[in-house]
């Protein structure tokens, strides 16, 4: 029986796609209404633990992969083997493997950008799009560096550390502390910034914290980052060149029914970043959740699930959907 806080109770599967072995969780596989859930960094598929059983109860098939570079999925060491085009192909081949023609894609953090881009690379495979925290950003018309991005969007300044060898060592040497520090509700982080302003470190030399994430969940993250290391996930921050060249010819207009949910206290992706999205997404619903930080999926699960239920009922209602 599925216990949302026990990773071993989920239906784990593996597939060879696009040159890598991909791990994914596949629940309620007999349903014809498929949802594809994409996590961010340093998250894993388990970041959707509050949504997976809820969506299954509504009657949906829920597929939550570990994206390239994360968890049990292969993690190429070379950053050249990443980028939104590459990751989108991973997902398209996963759908081919599962013989699923179309899905609704739902993302958070990096996974939010993935679902926007996936809908641009493979519009024929996408019914609708939902993103938590991550606004749609059209592909750049000219190549720019991470430093230029940070200059334009100062709240991304932490990324300048994440691309350094020091960041990889910092996480690998302090995996438990890193996750106990990062997986905290936003109110627990007041006065305790993500990166130490003096030492520029995430975990090394910083105080340990008590995480409110359930023990089995936290243990799973620590286990897989200890086994695989941080490099694969950090490679996602080294993609400005790849993403420009892979995405530059995409149609900037999203022609799918879309849901954007912002989190009031998300300092990495503040709600203000979602302003103006409707200019490029004609069929957009924009919602907000108050009192939550970046980890809105588990800080405010009832609000997230309520928005999803209502949105999905207008896209592809299932026999179990209460709306």
What is the share, in percent, of the chain residues with pLDDT greater than 70?
Answer: 98
Note whether residue 1 is domain-resident.
Answer: no
Averaged pLDDT for residues 73-79 = 98
Averaged pLDDT for residues 236-243 = 97
pLDDT the model gives residue 318: 67
For 175-198, the pLDDT digits (tens) are 999 999 999 888 888 888 899 988
pLDDT the model gives residue 185: 85
Note whether residue 276 is domain-resident.
Answer: yes
pTM above 0.85, yes or no: yes
| Active-site choice (26, 43, 90, 109) | 109
Note whether residue 153 is domain-resident.
Answer: yes
Note whether residue 57 is domain-resident.
Answer: yes
Q: Is 305 helix (H, G, I), strand (E, B) or coil?
A: helix
- Is the confidence at residue 233, as pLDDT, over 60? yes
Task: For residue 71, give the CATH number of its domain.
Answer: 3.40.50.1820
More confident residue, 91 or 321: 91
- Is the confidence at residue 244, as pLDDT, over 70? yes
| Active-site choice (60, 237, 266, 307) | 237
Note whether residue 114 is domain-resident.
Answer: yes
Mean pLDDT (the chain) is 95
Q: Which residues, including other chains, have CB under 8 Å from residue 167's CB and lie 6 or more apart?
A: 161, 202, 230, 234
For 116-165, the pLDDT digits (tens) are 999 999 999 999 999 999 999 999 999 999 999 999 999 999 999 999 99
Find the domain containing 101 and state its range.
Answer: 7-313
Q: Which residues, including other chains, have CB under 8 Å from residue 227's CB and lie 6 or more apart?
A: none
Residue given tokens 């209404």 in the structure block: 33
pLDDT the model gives residue 242: 97
SS (H, E, C) 107-137: EECHHHHHHHHHHHHCHHHEEEEEEECCCCC
Q: Which residues, including other chains, have CB under 8 Å from residue 289's CB and lie 6 or more apart?
A: 261, 262, 263, 264, 296, 300, 303, 304, 307
Look at strands 20-27 and 12-17 and give their pairing: antiparallel
| Active-site choice (23, 39, 108, 294) | 294
Note whether residue 89 is domain-resident.
Answer: yes
Q: What is the DSSP code (8-state) at residue 174? A: S
For 246-299, the pLDDT digits (tens) are 999 999 999 999 999 999 999 999 999 999 999 999 999 999 999 999 999 999
How many domains in the chain?
Answer: 1
Q: Is 294 a catalytic residue?
A: yes
Note whether residue 226 is domain-resident.
Answer: yes
pLDDT the model gives residue 322: 44
Give residue 323's pLDDT band: very low, low, confident or very high (50, 70, 90). Answer: very low
Note whether residue 321 is domain-resident.
Answer: no
For 49-72, the pLDDT digits (tens) are 999 999 999 999 999 999 999 999
């Amino acid at each position: 029986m599925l216990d949302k806080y026990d990773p071993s109770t989920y239906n784990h599967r593996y597939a060879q796609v696009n040159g890598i072995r991909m791990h994914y969780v596949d629940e309620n596989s007999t349903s014809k209404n498929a949802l594809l859930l994409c996590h961010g960094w340093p998250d894993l598929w388990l970041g959707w633990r509050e949504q997976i059983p809820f969506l299954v109860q509504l009657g949906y098939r829920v597929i939550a992969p570990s994206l390239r570079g994360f968890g049990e999925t292969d993690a190429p060491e070379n950053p050249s083997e990443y980028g939104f085009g590459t990751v989108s192909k991973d997902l398209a081949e996963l759908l081919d493997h599962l013989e699923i023609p179309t899905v609704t894609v739902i993302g958070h953090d990096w996974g939010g950008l993935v679902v926007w881009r996936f809908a641009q690379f493979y519009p024929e495979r996408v019914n609708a799009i939902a993103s938590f925290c991550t606004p749609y950003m059209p592909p750049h018309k000219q190549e720019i560096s991470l430093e230029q991005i940070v200059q334009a969007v100062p709240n991304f300044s932490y990324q300048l550390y994440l691309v350094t060898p020091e960041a990889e060592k910092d996480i690998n040497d302090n995996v438990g502390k890193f996750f106990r520090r990062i997986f905290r509700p936003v109110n627990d982080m007041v006065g305790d910034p993500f990166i130490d302003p003096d030492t520029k470190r995430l975990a090394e030399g910083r105080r340990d914290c008590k995480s409110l994430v359930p023990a089995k969940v936290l243990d799973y993250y620590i286990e897989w980052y200890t086994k695989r290391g941080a490099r694969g996930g950090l490679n996602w921050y080294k993609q400005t060149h790849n993403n420009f060249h892979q995405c530059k010819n995409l149609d900037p207009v999203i022609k799918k029914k879309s849901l954007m949910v912002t989190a009031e206290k998300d300092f990495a992706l503040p709600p203000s970043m979602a302003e103006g999205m409707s200019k490029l997404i004609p069929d957009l619903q924009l919602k907000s959740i108050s009192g939550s930080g970046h980890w809105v999926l588990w800080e405010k699960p009832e609000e997230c699930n309520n928005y999803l239920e209502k949105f999905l009922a207008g896209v592809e209602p299932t026999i179990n959907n209460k709306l």
